[in-house]
Structure 1
Amino acid sequence: MRVPPFRVLPFHELPAEELNLWRSVRAGNPALDSPYFHPGFAAAVHASGRPVRVAVGEDVLMAGHLIGSTLRPVGWPGADFQGPLLPPGTAFDPVRLLGKGVTGFAFDHLVDGLPGFDRWTATRRASPYLDVSGGMDGYLGRASKAGKENMGQARRRAAKAGRELGEVRFAADSLDEGALARVIELKRAQYAATGARDYFAEPDRTDLLKLLLHTREPDFAGILSTLHAGPHLLAAHFGMRAGGVLHWWFPVYDPAHAKLAPGWILLRELVLAAPSLGIERIDLGRGDDEYKRRAKTGETTVGQGLVTRNPVRRAARAALERARPTLSRVKRRLT
């Protein structure tokens, strides 16, 4: 039987019926519980000035950006979980995403287990998380030896910061725009120091974080957490939450206080605050950073690849994805 084609609409033209479908499909599939799959994220991206188009099928939706003739997931390149919204067990052929000016669908954080994507996935990489159900006691019961040790060290270093710098204050969910501006400033300095691509070089991405900071839906919100000692902002984090999931997105710390490992102090405070915030899982996002390896209680995998009818283009993309880990290791050694 021929599958009906997608209807493609700008996000702001989606009728209530399609938005309700979006919410119901997401709610019915536990694999889609990340904030990146919430329509509130797509709404903020669209409002920030990056047009979001949504392909709508009978029970399938895909939000993204058309860049040239390539479809990218909504929020790219800052989306740490990606893919179409499908009910569990739904058969899906990704080639359906092609056509109407789309010659390829490129993904680099495809959520694990989506049907139909195996043949298009060149590589898979780990995406760690913290199971924080039960708060700190629950976390410590699941954490590795390294995770437990680092949390203990964070408690002692917080006490040291209090003695040397002034009272330690943690805000789990701040609306301070000045603190958000400092997060972006520190993140850009980190990009410059490591030679990484500056995510905030595009002004609309700063606008996106500002919009998310003030987004307060019952099941979706931006969340800014700050850690001060006396007058000093030691560390901060901006992310998103949807239901019981917090996505760890833009963590920063002040290099002047690096010896205190303030990022660990901040993470410890978030784990302690998790029950009062209704958070049961903190997704750390793809990456093999040492702190992620130490802190995690588990991990999923996310895929990298390209859906295209062009075999040469597909082979080139696969070769690039397989080379990326080696290139990253070389770059870290050089810097």
Structure 2
Amino acid sequence: MDVSLIHPRDLADGEITAWRDLRAADPRLDSPFLSPDFARCAGQARSDARVLVVRNADGAPQLFLPLQLSRSGLARPLGAPMCDVTGPIAAPPSIALLSTALGRAGLAAYAFAGWPAAPKGKGVKLRHSEGSAVADLSQGFAAYLESRRAEHPRHFKKMRRLARQGEKDYGAETTTFGPANAEDLATLIRWKREQYIRTGRHDVLGPAWTRALLEACAAAHSEDFSGVMATLRYNGQLVAAEFGLRSGATLHGWIAGYDPAFSSCSPGLVLQQRLLERAAAAGVTRAVLGTGESHYKKHYTSHVELMDDGVVAAAGLAGGARALAAGLLLAVERGRFGPASRLAGRTRRRMDIILAVETRMGDQVRGLARAIGSDAALNQTTKAVKAAVRASAF
């Protein structure tokens, strides 16, 4: 087994072809986030972008793992926390090589979130699972809408009323679905950043590299990978927008926002329905709405796909230390420590986001301080960790 770490821009044409072939052979790899083009876009935005490439005895690539490096030797998915779907691009038998490959590449572990149904196996510790909502448009939008209306008639009746109200209050409605307009994308980013401030969440669009990633994806236009923007306007004024990624017949919603001045007519929800209709007309058969607890998703969800969060420890001493640490944290999150266990899980997930998105230590420290929130919260988490350590001694 030959292992190498390569910047996405330095992948050879033959390696890109092998990557595409592996994706084409497995429907579970159809996400645009697993395209080599997404890796190249992320490579434009981050200098620490790498792809772990594993080759067989004949020199043929059999596994690709897009990742970003850290000073600690912990690798994260390339583009984290912006990449909603992660994991190796490989035939299922080759995934068992991942722990050994990480060790040979000099890495301690790979911490992931969004791996579709991650396998349990050597070196893999699963911490959390979450459902990702999918709208099945394979039978066309009319059939899809009929199935959703049958389950949620009151919601769709309300949506018809809101759409009429929007036009009555603000003027004629127009929608678009296609390549992103730079001005519309900038407005969407501004709305989203303002939302993070209002809700107290970490501003993942604050670092310049995440905005550069969005812009690089917006400039991509190919069958295998493209950035797509849906917009809603009243009387020519932009009131809601969603930027997503498309690969073949799969569309993955990514960044969505709206102008709060128009919130009385729920423009984000109106756009969601218009987007799915336009996407189906453009040949999309599978629209991923993503993870999260947004209440609106249940109305548009045909089925849910399981996404896993965890750590793959590298073979060797460094990986063993990471596996032990991951096991202790997992014991806290799953333990019977009441609020402290729930707090530990939430805090760990927020910390993962901050450490992945912020590239400067000062910004990481400030973000972590805000995530912890108070000395009382920190003390609760510390007590839970100590309890887990004591429990492990037995």
Q: Normalising by structure 2, report the TM-score.
A: 0.77
Q: List aligned pairs for 1:105-124, cutoff 5 A.
A: 105-114=110-119, 116=121, 119-124=124-129
Q: Is the alpha carbon distance of 1:324 and 1:216 closer, same or farther for their aligned partners in structure 2, counting shifts above 3 Å?
A: farther
Work out which of the residue numbers 75, 82, 93 in structure 2 matches 1:78: 82
Q: Show structure 2 runs of 5+ residues with no match.
A: 56-61, 314-319, 335-340, 348-370, 372-394
Q: Say which one has the larger Rg.
A: 2
Q: Is 2:262 aligned against 1:250? A: no
Work out which of the residue numbers 12, 16, 39 in structure 1 matches 2:13: 16
Q: Is the alpha carbon distance of 1:169 and 1:122 closer, same or farther for their aligned partners in structure 2, counting shifts above 3 Å?
A: same
> What displacement does 1:294 show?
2.6
- Provide the C-alpha distance between the structure 2 equivalents of 1:305 and 1:105, rounded to a whole number of angstroms: 8
Q: Is 2:22 aligned against 1:25? A: yes
Work out which of the residue numbers 297, 308, 311 in structure 2 matches 1:306: 311
Q: List aligned pairs for 1:86-165, cutoff 5 A.
A: 86-88=90-92, 90=94, 92-99=96-103, 100-114=105-119, 116=121, 119-143=124-148, 145=150, 147-165=152-170
Q: Is the alpha carbon distance of 1:85 and 1:152 closer, same or farther for their aligned partners in structure 2, counting shifts above 3 Å?
A: same
Match of 1:63 in 2: 66
> What displacement does 1:114 show?
4.2
**Helix, strand or coil at the partner of 1:116:** coil
**Residue 112 of structure 1 aligns to which amino acid in structure 2?**
A
Deviation larger for 229-238 or 193-202: 229-238
Q: Is the alpha carbon distance of 1:200 and 1:30 closer, same or farther for their aligned partners in structure 2, counting shifts above 3 Å?
A: same
Equivalent residues of 1:144, 1:297 under 8 A apart: no
- Provide the C-alpha distance between the structure 1 equivalents of 2:119 and 2:262, rounded to a whole number of angstroms: 42
The alignment of Structure 1 onto Structure 2 pairs a total of residues equal to: 326
- Provide the C-alpha distance between the structure 1 equivalents of 2:279 and 2:217, rounded to a whole number of angstroms: 20
The structure richer in helix per residue is 2
**Helix, strand or coil at the partner of 1:19:** helix
**Residue 241 of structure 1 aligns to which amino acid in structure 2?**
R
> What displacement does 1:197 show?
1.0
Q: Is the alpha carbon distance of 1:88 and 1:188 closer, same or farther for their aligned partners in structure 2, counting shifts above 3 Å?
A: same
- Provide the C-alpha distance between the structure 2 equivalents of 1:222 and 1:105, rounded to a whole number of angstroms: 27
Deviation larger for 74-83 or 137-146: 137-146
> What displacement does 1:56 show?
1.2
- Provide the C-alpha distance between the structure 1 equivalents of 2:173 and 2:194, rounded to a whole number of angstroms: 24
**Helix, strand or coil at the partner of 2:81:** coil
Equivalent residues of 1:236, 1:266 under 8 A apart: yes
**Any idea what the Cα deviations from partners look like across 1:75-117, whole Å, max 9, x if unmatched?**
1111111100112454514312422331111011111154637
- Provide the C-alpha distance between the structure 2 equivalents of 1:265 and 1:71, rounded to a whole number of angstroms: 39
**Helix, strand or coil at the partner of 1:201:** coil
Q: Is the alpha carbon distance of 1:161 and 1:141 closer, same or farther for their aligned partners in structure 2, counting shifts above 3 Å?
A: closer
Equivalent residues of 1:56, 1:62 under 8 A apart: yes
Deviation larger for 84-93 or 193-202: 84-93
**Helix, strand or coil at the partner of 1:96:** helix
Match of 2:208 in 1: 203
Match of 2:353 in 1: none
Q: List aligned pairs for 1:252-267, cutoff 5 A.
A: 252-267=257-272
Identity %: 28
Q: Is the alpha carbon distance of 1:118 and 1:66 closer, same or farther for their aligned partners in structure 2, counting shifts above 3 Å?
A: closer
**Helix, strand or coil at the partner of 2:82:** coil
- Runs of 4 or more, structure 1, over 3 Å off, are 88-91, 113-119, 144-149, 319-328
> What displacement does 1:324 show?
5.6
> What displacement does 1:71 show?
0.8
Equivalent residues of 2:63, 2:95 under 8 A apart: no
> What displacement does 1:205 show?
1.0
Q: Is the alpha carbon distance of 1:260 and 1:306 closer, same or farther for their aligned partners in structure 2, counting shifts above 3 Å?
A: same
**Helix, strand or coil at the partner of 2:226:** strand
